[in-house]
Amino acid sequence: MRELYPEIEPYRTHRLAVDALHTLHVEECGNPAGLPVVFLHGGPGAGISTYHRRFFDPARYRIVLFDQRGAGQSTPFAELIDNTTAHLVADIEAIRERLGIERWVVFGGSWGSTLALAYAQAHPQRTLGLVLRGIFLGRPQELRWFNEADGGASQIFPERWARFLGFIPPEERGSLLDAYWQRLNGTDEAVRLAAAQAWSAWEGGSTTLIHDPDAPGIFEEPQKAVSLAVMEAHYFRHALFLEPDQLLRDISRIRHIPATIVHGRYDIICPVKSAWDLSQAWPEAALRIVLAGHSAADPAIVDQLVEATDQLADRYA
């Protein structure tokens, strides 16, 4: 099976002011003359990690990564003002223009797949290809699946769910999203952090195929927990700032663009039905369902993502 490319450091970083409030952290890795690709991280609010650079052949790709508004090293931290899907789509275009890139590959997983689809549908003329992992279309049933007691995920990881549920008093459990939001949006910093860590432990510990209910998640660090939980609750409360079924409705705008969809058969955060629905609306895209969970680090998903980026490099580089 294919593995990630070796670790690599950025050859250039940028601070890009996209409006009077928000400034983005942007980094470039790989070959400055290579095939441009933009990496869209998950969450919203998760930020970029060093391993995200490694899905691309550094000899053939000019790899652009950035922390979305409110996440990672972008500022202000966890800021919700002027933070919507439309703002993020505009930010991607601002980065492309700032870097002098005519067209590029768009790579995104989980929420990053949502944003990648929204961007490509808004700017198909700028999109050379799409690599999408862990499809999340932002539909009501997808939001309920992982975030509410009647959604389904609670029955698969009951030990971890009990801790997520237990943070909220019984009388407020009719809408866990609203109950968590009240705490994440409050003024008590201790309560805000505790809520963020409970939220992030539920999600961050549910990503891999091999599940240990007592293992720490991938979002335990306090700052990452806060940005993830606050940003996700904000976006989820607003249906990801998308119109109903928008991403499936507008698929005709991008059906001509080469695309690979990679999804874990046992993805509990984003069930495989979403990838299937996308592939039915977009039969030209290559669908790869593999023995994996949600995590981009699961070996079968790494294998397919690296193959997809290598194929696009063979085609364009």
| Residues acting as catalytic residues | 110, 267, 294
Instruction: Report d(CA 119, CA 128) in Å as an integer.
Output: 12
Q: Which of 16, 32, 14 is nearest to 93 (CA)?
A: 16
User: Reduced to 3 states, what is the DSSP secondary structure of residue 247?
Assistant: helix
The sign of the dihedral angle between the CA atoms of 238, 243, 244, 248 is negative
Residue with tokens 């000899």: 59
Q: Burial code of 80-108, b = ≥16 C-beta within 10 A, e = fewer? A: eeebbbebbbbbbebbbeebeeeebbbbb
Pairing of strands 35-40, 61-66: parallel
Q: Which of 196, 184, 215 is nearest to 295 (CA)?
A: 215
User: Reduced to 3 states, what is the DSSP secondary structure of residue 43?
Assistant: coil
Task: Count other C-beta atoms under 10 Å from residue 137's C-beta.
Answer: 22
Instruction: Report d(CA 315, CA 317) in Å as an integer.
Output: 6
Q: Which of 296, 314, 310, 303 is nearest to 112 (CA)?
A: 296
Task: Count other C-beta atoms under 10 Å from residue 125's C-beta.
Answer: 7
